[in-house]
Structure formats: C-alpha cells, structure tokens
Amino acid sequence: MFDGLGSRLETALGRIRGKARLSAADVDLALGEIRAALLEADVAVPVINGFVERIREAAVGVQASKALSPGQQVIKAVNAELVRALGGDGFKITFASRPPTVILLAGLQGAGKTTTAAKLALYFRRQGRSPFLIAADLQRPAAVEQLRLLGEKASVPVYSAPTDPVSVAKSGIEEAKRVGRDVVIIDTAGRLAIDEALMDEISSISEGVSPHYTMLVVDAMMGQDSVRTATAFHERLSLDAVIMSKLDGDARGGAALSVKEVVGKPIAFGSTGEKLEDFDLFYPDRMANRILGMGDVLSLIEQAERTIDEEVAKKGAARLMDGQFDLDDFLEQLRQVRKMGPLKGLMGMLPGIPRELKGVDIDEKEIGRIEAIISSMTVAERRNPKLIDGSRRQRIAVGSGVSTAQVSGLLKQFGEMQKMVRSMGIGPASATKKQRVKASQKKGRRNKR
Ligand SMILES: Nc1nc2c(ncn2[C@@H]2O[C@H](COP(=O)(O)OP(=O)(O)OP(=O)(O)O)[C@@H](O)[C@H]2O)c(=O)[nH]1
Ligand SMILES: [Mg+2]
C-alpha cells in the first residue's frame, strides 16, 4: 500500500529538496503535484484541500530557519500533514478499572471482523492480558466455528451459545467475569451493505452490553467506500476507533488517509495479512515515514522482537563468538528470518532501499532450497563443511534434488559468511589463543560423531 503515493510525493519533493531558495513558482508546482498525488491515492477531497493549504502556509514562511533548507522544511511539513491525516498521536486503549474491558467489533461482510477478533485477542494475550472471545455472529452458519478455530490458534477461549446475538454477548461477558478474563472481544455478523435489520442487531448488542470500545473493521482495499461505510456506522453506533484490515493489499491508501478527518475517529490497529501475527497498533508517524521513503526501522525492530526466538538467537550469537557456528546454526538463523514474514514486506520497511527494489520479491524458494541441501548432509558434514569432497557433494546434490554447483554455491556462501564474521572481530581469528585452542578441541570432539 501507499507505493504509488510514496513515489509521486518523492518526485514532487525531489525537485525542491536541495533548493536554497523556493520561488512562488517552485511552491506552486510542488503543491500541484502533491494535490495530484493525493487525488490519485483516492484521498477524500476535503482532506486534500486542508492538507495542501497547510503545506502552503508552511512553505510561505520557510526562509526563517537556518537548520533546514527550504526544501527540507516543506518535506517536514508534508510529513507532519501525513501524520496528522493518519491520526496524529495514534490510539491508546484505556482498560476499564473494573474488568473486563469490552470491545465490540462491527463491519461489513468480509471486512475481516472475525480474523481481527482473533488477532486482537492474540495481541492482548501477548501484552499480558487475559482476553476472551465471544462469537455473536449467529447469521452465518460457520461463523462460530471459524472463531473457535482462530481462538484455538491464539490460545484464547471462545464463548458462544445458540440463543440470539444480544443474549450471547451478555451471557459471554458474565462468563468472562466468572472465569476472571479482563478483555472481552465480541465478533458480530457482517452486513452486505448498510442493511437496516443488521444495523438494528448491532445497535441492540451495543445497547445490551454498553461496550467500552466500539471498533469498526474496514477493508483498506475499499478506498473511499470504506470511509462512507464508517460514516454510516458512526451515525448509528458512535464508534471509538477504526481497525483497518488488508493493509497488505495494493490499496492506494486513500481510506487510511481520510478516515480520521472524515469520521473523526482514529485508526487504532492495522492488519497486514491473513496470519494472526500480521497485526499491530497503527502508528501514524511510522506510516508517514514509510510513505515518504524514510523506512520504518522501528516497526522492523519490533517485528523482529516478536517473531525471533530470543533463545535461538542468543545461542547462535554465542556459537558465533567461539567459532562454533556451523551449517545447522546457519539454517536455524535463516528459519528465524523467514518467520518474520514475506521478505518483500521486510524490504519495504528498510530505510535507504531504493523504491524500485521495494517491490522485488526475494526468492523465498531459495531458503527452501538451502534447507533441503543442509538436510541432506550428515551431522559431521554440517559441523565441518570441509569434509565435503566431490563424492559427498554429489550425494548431497542427489539427496536434495539440486545440482552440485548449487551445493558448492551454498558452501561458498557459508564460507564467506564465516570469513565476514571473523573480519568483524568476533570469530576465532580474533579470539585469544586459549579460546581458540578450547574451541578447536570442542570442534574435534564434535567432528568425531
Ligand atoms: N490479506 C489479508 N487478508 C485478510 C486480512 N484480514 C482478513 N483477511 C481475509 O479476509 C477474509 C474475510 O475475513 P473475515 O475475518 O472472515 O471477515 P468477516 O468480517 O468476519 O466476514 P463476515 O463474518 O462474513 O462478515 C478472510 O479470508 C481473511 O483471511 C488482512 O489484513 N490481509
Ligand atoms: Mg465474521
């Protein structure tokens, strides 16, 4: 998402970035391009007008500062406007002083409510809360089962009863209190459009349970339609926040940039894939940085922290330090990186990666191939790749269904990595002699197996 907007803004701002002085014509040209970029991204027109006006004001007074060039000041203003449009400070949930905190989810059919319910539950569980899911979608026959399965994946209990949505929601909250759960998430039936009967249903659930938060799940791919939907729901339900799903799609970003201004409610969470982990608080500042191509290192770091097994990483690091890092460790590290999600998504978060490269799909099959090759080696070979001569190479190639050249390629890659580690001063080359002797003794013992 936001790729088109990002590159158009980059072009518009690239022209003025380095300028020591901005003429009125420079400003007009840049603003015209910014307006066109926002229009193309499907941002609501009133939002665009305010956006461009505030940047114009900022651009007029730019000569004053010494720290930033006029061009940089305009870029800063654009960044500030993006943050503002995306919701400013972002959303923070306040938990009820008398638990459970009740969150009611609403949304159109297929918007992602049920998936989001489970994602939220997992999110809260990882925050140290004890969430509880209520399946109050009794319209679609398989809906309860769907939530039950997702709840199992998230290790969060799911409650349902074959009564009616309002009673289910009420008795579910009682049950949550009884078993001491502190956050309740209610999944409800979707509606195809703003259909009266279903609107009445969700309104009566809302009246029945007085949720602390009512959150609307909207599909980012729906563009301005999702903003209109949010407005209609807000009139009936009084929303507290929006959860934007399918941010991983190729939506142009207009919905995310318009919803706060048009509906007046922030985006609390964002969903970026079908897996339960593809979900996080929505950070307007980070998203703005990503749009402007500054990368999103914070998100990357947090994602790494969430998915990479700290124990495994520590073990790998320790083995690197004493020169014990072998092909098994190499494979384990690769698996950890792959757990972080599609490599394509990761590239988009790195700063300094040229925009042209961001869409490039790194061949994930390559990791699968490396896995196959290493799995075809004996334990001794993995520990000491030097053992691998021509005939062993041949055997490994046959075993893993690749060519011998591919086996050699992997060994070369691994050898280079070891060399690099040594040159960084953490491998055995930089270790004290005593450490080296100890390491090689260990290695000798291991290699006999
Ligand atoms: N790519 C992607 N797919 C998603 C995301 N969120 C949900 N989906 C998919 O969208 C589809 C619909 O999701 P549901 O959670 O069943 O939607 P719902 O709003 O509960 O649908 P109804 O109960 O029928 O109203 C499923 O196939 C989900 O896997 C997301 O962030 N990214
Ligand atoms: Mg559903």
- Residues of the chain with pLDDT > 90: what percent? 41
Ligand of minimum distance to the alpha carbon of 120? 1
Contact yes or no for 239/260 (Cβ under 8 A): no
**Residue 337: C-alpha distances to residues 274, 291, 333, 359, 416 (Å):** 19, 24, 6, 19, 19
Report the range of poorest mean pLDDT among 33-42, 91-100, 313-322. Answer: 313-322
- pLDDT mean over 413-435: 55
Q: What is the model's pLDDT at position 352?
A: 45
d(CA 63, CA 198): 56
Tell the residue number behind the tokens 């930033």, with chain if given: 68
Least confident piece of the model among 273-282, 297-306, 386-395 = 297-306
Instruction: List residues bridging with 218 in a β-sheet.
Output: 244
- CA atoms of 214 and 33, how far apart (whole Å): 38
**If 0-12 CB within 10 Å is exposed, 13-18 middle and 19+ buried, where does residue 243 land?**
buried
Output the CA torsion 252→282→77→259 (10° steps). 60
179: pLDDT confidence band, cut at 50, 70 and 90? Answer: very high
Between the alpha carbon of residue 153 and those of residues 118, 146, 149, 158, 185, the distances in Å are 8, 11, 6, 11, 16
Q: Which residue type sits at 247?
A: L
- Say how many Å lie between the CA of residue 401 and the centre of ligand 1: 37
Tokens at 66, concatenated = 């010494």
pTM greater than 0.85 (yes/no):
no
The one-letter code for the residue type at 39 is L
Instruction: Answer yes or no: are the C-beta atoms of 9 and 30 closer than 8 Å.
Output: no
Instruction: Pick 350 or 4 by higher pLDDT.
Output: 4
| Separation CA 244–CA 263 (nearest Å) | 14
Ligand 1 mean position to 70 CA, how many Å? 45
Buried b / exposed e along 178-205 (16+ C-beta atoms within 10 A): eeebbbbbbbbbbbeeeeeebbebbeeb
- Residue 67 has what pLDDT? 54
Residue 208 CA, ligand 2 centroid: distance in Å: 20
Residue 402: strand, helix, or coil: coil
The residue whose CA is least distant from atom 4 of ligand 1 is 274
Closest CA to 127 of 335, 269, 338: 269
Top-ranked range on mean pLDDT: pick from 81-90, 114-123, 359-368: 114-123
Rounded Cα distance between 114 and 147, Å, is 6
Confidence of residue 271 (pLDDT cuts 50, 70, 90): very high
AA identity, residue 207: E
Give the integer Cα–Cα distance in Å for 252 and 69.
30
Q: Whose CA is nearest to atom 23 of ligand 1?
A: 190
Other residues' Cβ atoms within 10 Å of the Cβ of residue 370: 22
Instruction: Kindly give, in sequence order, each residue whose CB lies less than 8 Å from that of residue 264, ignoring residues fewer than 6 positions away.
Output: 234
State in Å: Cα 245 to ligand 1 middle: 8
Band of residue 350 on the pLDDT scale cut at 50, 70, 90: low
Instruction: Give the mean pLDDT of 218-237.
Output: 88
Tokens of 133: 């899911």
* Longest pairwise C-alpha distance within the chain: 79
Query: Ligand 2 centre from 275 Cα, in Å?
Result: 15
DSSP secondary structure, 5-49, as one string: HHHHHHHHHHHHHT-SS--HHHHHHHHHHHHHHHHHTT--HHHHH
Q: Which residue, among 378, 385, 441, 380, has the nearest Cα to 418 in the 3D structure?
A: 385
Sheet holding 158-159, edge to edge: 158-159, 131-136, 183-188, 101-107, 213-219, 241-245, 267-271, 279-281
pLDDT attached to residue 129: 96
- Indicate the top mutation candidate among 122, 198, 215, 274 to test ligand 1's pocket, ranked by most ligand atoms within 8 A of CB: 274
Cα first-last separation, the chain = 51
Residues in the ligand 1 pocket, defined by CB under 6 Å? 107, 109-115, 137, 140, 143, 190, 245-246, 248, 271-274
**137 Cα nearest atom in ligand 1:** 23
How far does residue 109's CA lie from ligand 1's centre (Å)? Answer: 9
**Domains of the chain, with CATH numbers?**
3-85 (1.20.120.140), 101-282 (3.40.50.300), 306-447 (1.10.260.30)
Residue 2 φ then ψ, to 5°: 70, 5
DSSP three-state, residue 104: strand
Q: Whose CA is nearest to atom 3 of ligand 1?
A: 274
The CA distance from 382 to 369, in Å, is 15
Which atom of ligand 1 sits closest to the CA of residue 115? Answer: 15
**How far, in Å, CA of 324 to CA of 328, rounded?**
10
SS3 label, residue 350: coil
